[in-house]
A and B are shown apart, each in its own frame.
Chain A
């Protein structure tokens, strides 16, 4: 507590109030949230035993949103590389391991850049993915990469600091390179097909409120963005 900066506490309180407002279904629920959030004050948003909020509106929230997605992607590819699916070619092993290293670099970058403002480490839940099967792994990878691209593209305009926007730009194009590669593994030539692009040949951005429910299906630690219109159920 004593190491916290004042504005962090303000962020926590502000986010917590909004969170409680959204969550206010029953007295018992509020009691649990309030009790759980008492000893997790280091995070910018309210934290429960199963959830975290990206916090008050602003660049820190957007960076934490990116950090959450990168945590998920890194955890996924660490699993992929540790238990490579049956029939993986040498080329697939090499390049999927590269992607793992990129996502770990992204995750560690956000963690370092956010410092004490960072949300906690998220616990993933990959029970829906069969890591021994190529189809299952690549379908999940495709979803992660395409969602990542649409998430960065959709959050770009919310960023207020040009340096942060540039860094988001540096990362999103690498995610798009991954997406292109994974899609071609799933189906050659589908690197930028009409299922993801619009008629003008543009990727389709997604909002935070659209992306987090998708991410949360792979997370035990549910991520909310109460100040951007989404609270995990």
Chain B
């Protein structure tokens, strides 16, 4: 096995490969000297470890990576609302108005991200089964397109998770006005949607559901626990919010958790939306 020959080949395809692994050049040296001493059979394992380091979670995603990740989530959301709007779910006139507006935004977000990414945009046909999603998430939500309450519950989970997903990427776009500002401008629209869907659910009788996330999973649906993991955080930037003065007494736990939304990593989000067909 000619390790350096392989790395040269990779560099032809990925000019930034050395940069990706640059903090770990010592690791390469270690692997080669290590490789000369151990059986050749052990090499593929050592090599795959190196690749995991170069391309795995530790690597900072490029702007293109971040935008394609966003695009995949927007593909899911737009397809979901398109399916809801085309279904025979009996929306009230008011609910239909909300859904139509949100549907328009999600489709516009897709077009916008595609226009920014141009030829680098992931194709929707790569998602789900040739572009077709399973909104039941493998049977977890069997009535998603036949029962309004299930539809809105899934919609809420999508929107709240979308907010968390965008938030989790902001740091990778630090200081980049061209990419960060549009991402923030989508992020806050997803939050407006999340709030609106929560308002619909509250009006439909989910009386403990508020426009904001109180504690961790406040939906009453155990299947989406993971979508709300960590939302019950009460510490921000080293400050314990519940130790701060509120209007009467300290800030309550409910207010402390609701007043700050929490991020999710791309790995967390991908695991959550994979059952719907996001890849």
Binding site for B on A (CB under 8 A): 78, 81, 95, 98, 100-106, 108-109, 112-113, 149, 152-154, 156-157, 159-160, 162-167, 169-181, 184, 188-189, 191-193, 197, 199-205
Contact = CB atoms under 8 A, between A and B. Distances in A.
A38 B130 CA distance: 70
B104 interface: yes
A178 B94 CA distance: 20
Contact of A95 (B98, B177, B180, B210): B210
Contacts of B94: 188-189
B189 A170 contact: no
A173 B180 contact: no
Nearest to B116: A200
A176 B192 contact: yes
Given A160-B175, A202-B182, A101 B212 contact: no
Contacts of A176: 188-189, 191-192, 195
A108 to B, nearest CB: 4
Given A153-B185, A156-B181, A163 B259 contact: no
A192 B258 contact: no
B88 interface: no
B161 to A, nearest CB: 12
A193 B102 CA distance: 10
Contacts of B252: 101
B7 interface: no
A108 B188 contact: no
A173 B192 CA distance: 8
Contacts of B247: 78, 81, 100-101, 104
A126 B198 CA distance: 31
Contact of A166 (B171, B238, B245, B246): B171
A103 B246 CA distance: 10
Chain B facing A: main interface SS: helix
A177 to B, nearest CB: 4
Contacts of A170: 167, 236, 260-263
B255 A201 contact: no
Nearest to B167: A169
Contacts of A104: 246-247, 251, 255
Contacts of B236: 109, 113, 167, 170
Contacts of B194: 173, 177, 180
A30 to B, nearest CB: 35
A178 B192 CA distance: 8
Given A173-B167, A178-B212, 17 more contacts: A98-B210, A102-B258, A103-B259, A104-B251, A105-B241, A108-B244, A112-B244, A149-B188, A152-B184, A157-B180, A162-B171, A165-B170, A170-B260, A173-B163, A177-B195, A181-B199, A191-B192
